Copies of this chain bind each other. A is one copy, B any other.
Amino acid sequence: MRIGILGATGAVGRQMITSLEERQIVPEELRLFASERSAGKELNFFEKGIPLEVITKDRLLGLDYVLGAVSNPLAKEWGPVIQEAGGVFIDNSSAYRLDEDVPLVVPEVNGEDALNHHGIIANPNCSTIITMMAVSPIQKISPIKKMITSTYQAVSGAGIGGLNELTNQVNDIREGKELTSEIFPKQIAYNCIPLIGSLNENGYTTEEMKMQNEGRKILHNHMDVSCTCVRVPVYRSHAICVSLQCEKELGIEEVNEALDKAPGILHDSDHFPTPLETSNQDLVAVGRIRKDLVFDGGISLWCCGDQIRKGAATNAIQILEYLLAH
A residues bordering B, Cβ < 8 Å? 146-148, 150, 152, 166, 170, 174, 185-187, 190-195, 202-204, 212, 224-228, 230, 232-235, 239, 241, 243, 252, 272-277, 287-295, 300, 302
Of the listed residues A195, A224, A241, the one surrounded by the most CB atoms of chain B closer than 10 A to its CB is A241
Q: Contact partner of A226 among B275, B294, B302, CB < 8 A?
A: B294
Q: How many copies does the complex hold?
A: 2
> A183 to chain B: closest CB distance in Å?
15
Q: Name the B residues within 8 Å of A186 (CB-CB).
A: 274, 276-277
Q: A86 to nearest B CB, angstroms?
A: 41
* Nearest-Cβ distance from residue A290 to partner chain B, whole angstroms: 3
Q: Given contacts A192-B232, A194-B239, could you give 7 more A-B pairs where the C-beta distance is less than 8 Å?
A: A148-B292, A150-B150, A190-B276, A191-B234, A192-B274, A204-B290, A228-B302
Note all chain B residues with C-beta closer than 8 A to A230.
152, 239, 241, 302
Which single member of B174, B195, B235 contacts A190 (CB below 8 Å)? B235
Q: Which residue of the partner chain B has the closest CB to A292?
A: B226
A232: chain B residues within 8 A (beta carbon): 152, 192, 232-233
